[in-house]
Structure 1
Amino acid sequence: MKTLKYIIILISYLSLSASSCKKDKTGIDALPAATQEGKNTFGCLVNGEVFIARSRTGFGPPYFACEYGFNSETNSFRFYLRGSDRIQSSNRNTIIISFNGISLISGTRLDIRELQDGYANAIYFKTSIDEFNTNATSKGEITITKLDESKRIISGTFWFDAVNETGEKVEVREGRFDMSYR
């Protein structure tokens, strides 16, 4: 009789445990961790919605990329970071942050504005024809938290505001990346 009680209690406990639903992470909790190991992660919040760049599957372009190095043609350093969040759709949301003429070290913090030497530029593509750009008034910031040139790892954080040609604004917040670069 005691054994039967324990079995019933155990079955009840297991049933309750199995039926409890796991909550999906939302907001900042859903973003990839802010690592510095070259894990190829890229994520942020776009107008409060989670944006996570995915790795490539099958054919087509990669969905994130990072480049940093000296460009002998322009005789300056170049940084390029891109992430897209939709793998199966032709209307991928894409974020690009780039700059020229700046040699990086860990701890470098740059203003994001219009693209010119000394500043970074950011673009958010909502669709292939709806482009939001940073400029002199819609700005942001990128911080390089780690640069390991021997392992070719670059990590950092970013945020920015950008506008399209009709004046509509997009807010990108809590951005983070941890990339192996070419």
Structure 2
Amino acid sequence: MENNNQNTELELMRSQMEDFKAQLDKQKIVNEKMIIGSMKKSMSWIKRFVYFECCLVPIIAVSWFAIKEFAHLSWLNYAFLMTVVIVSVIADYRINVSAISDADYSRNNLLTTIKKLTRMKRLRSIDMMIEVPTLVLWLLWSGIEAWVYMPADAPDFARAAVYGGIVGGVIGAVCGLIFAFRIFLKMQRTNDEVISQINELNA
């Protein structure tokens, strides 16, 4: 009789332990899904920003064409700008969007995802180091062309507009650089946060 009671207690304890283990496993799965969802959400704003850049390309093309015609800038200057813009957008897409897929957020791929996120940060830094000097040189080139190619008989309002454009270009360039660096640093921090979340999940 006593042995039967002991066996019953052991079976009850085993059942309770199995239930407890099942609850822990279920909680672990829920936590993993929450962390993976958080990682996807953290990276989603970067993708939206790149898509926004893509939408800006035709606006830049039309706007700078109008400025080119008014300021008598060369076609080479226009072609150079559009080439830089298109190459930049393609590079941003390849670095920030196509490099990471939904499959990379699965539990079995997270170590590979850390390598991809680290590589993304490195490529983003290289991209920034190339783009910033290139655009600064292009702005200087545009200012010099606008000054040199201004017709000698240009009316005062046209001269004032060109001078104002040069000054505005300098101010806009400084503001643009500040904005670009802020976006760049925010993207790098986002990658660091996701890498930290992956390490937490693996731990």
Query: What TM-score results when the alignment is normalised by the length of structure 1?
Result: 0.29
Choose between structure 1 and 2 for higher RCO, CA contacts under 8 A separated by at least 6 residues: 2
Query: What TM-score results when the alignment is normalised by the length of structure 2?
Result: 0.26
Q: Which has more helix, going by share of residues? A: 2
Which of these two proteins has the greater Rg computed from alpha carbons? 2
